[in-house]
């Protein structure tokens, strides 16, 4: 195990409007404000998105299993922001619900807000962790 100890920095509260790109907006905020390490929370609605719901098999490199949201869902979840080379790279896991169906997974690629989505970003100061491509798994992982 490797770890670092930091402290809370700035807190950003954002409201994403209908049909805005969730991941793109979070990355834009991190770039504009030079947020190098953060945790963020999302709550609200999404109309579009693609999530990974686990690897197909217990093997390396893992083959992701994809699920398309494809319709309006409620969402709540937690993510982190750390930089990969010259830009922020997000890692977000959430629960996506519609009627009596719930999907849980890692949101990737383009995603789109339904009506309104709230984000709270809590910056972490004193943390120098970054993301890098892991040669064994081929995935972008946290390096401390």
Residue 2: inside a domain = no
Q: Enumerate residues 6+ apart whose C-beta is below 8 A from 61.
A: 136, 137, 138, 139
Residue 125: inside a domain = yes
Residue 36: inside a domain = yes
3-state secondary structure of 140: strand
Q: Summarize the confidence of residues 19-34 as an average pLDDT.
A: 97
Residue 68: inside a domain = yes
pLDDT in tens, 120-138: 999 999 999 999 999 988 8
Share of the chain above pLDDT 70, in %: 100
Length of the chain: 144
**Chain mean pLDDT for the chain:** 95
Give residue 36's Cα distance to chain centre: 14
Contact 124, 9 (CB under 8 A): yes
pLDDT score recorded for residue 110: 81
What CATH number corresponds to the domain at position 27?
Answer: 3.30.1330.80
Residue 124: inside a domain = yes
pLDDT score recorded for residue 29: 98
Residue 1: inside a domain = no
pTM over 0.85: yes
Residue 95: inside a domain = yes
* β 140-143/130-133 pair status: antiparallel
Neighbouring CB atoms inside 10 A of 117's CB total 22
Residue 43: inside a domain = yes
Domain enclosing residue 66, as ranges = 7-143
Neighbouring CB atoms inside 10 A of 31's CB total 13
- Say how many CA atoms lie within 13 Å of 137 toward its Cβ: 14
Total domains present in the chain: 1
């Amino acid at each position: 195990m490797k770890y670092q100890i930091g402290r809370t920095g700035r807190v950003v509260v954002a409201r994403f409007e209908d049909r805005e790109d969730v991941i793109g907006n979070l990355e834009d905020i991190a770039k504009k404000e030079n947020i190098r390490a953060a945790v963020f929370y999302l709550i609200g609605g999404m109309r579009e998105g693609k999530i990974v719901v686990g690897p197909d098999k217990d093997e390396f490199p893992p083959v992701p299993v994809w699920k398309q949201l494809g319709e309006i869902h409620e969402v709540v979840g937690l993510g982190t922001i750390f930089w990969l080379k010259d830009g922020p790279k997000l890692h977000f896991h959430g629960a996506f619900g519609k009627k009596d169906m719930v999907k849980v997974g890692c949101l990737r690629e383009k995603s789109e807000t339904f009506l309104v989505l709230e984000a709270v970003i809590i910056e972490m100061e004193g943390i120098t962790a970054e993301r890098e491509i892991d040669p064994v798994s081929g995935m972008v992982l946290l390096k401390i």
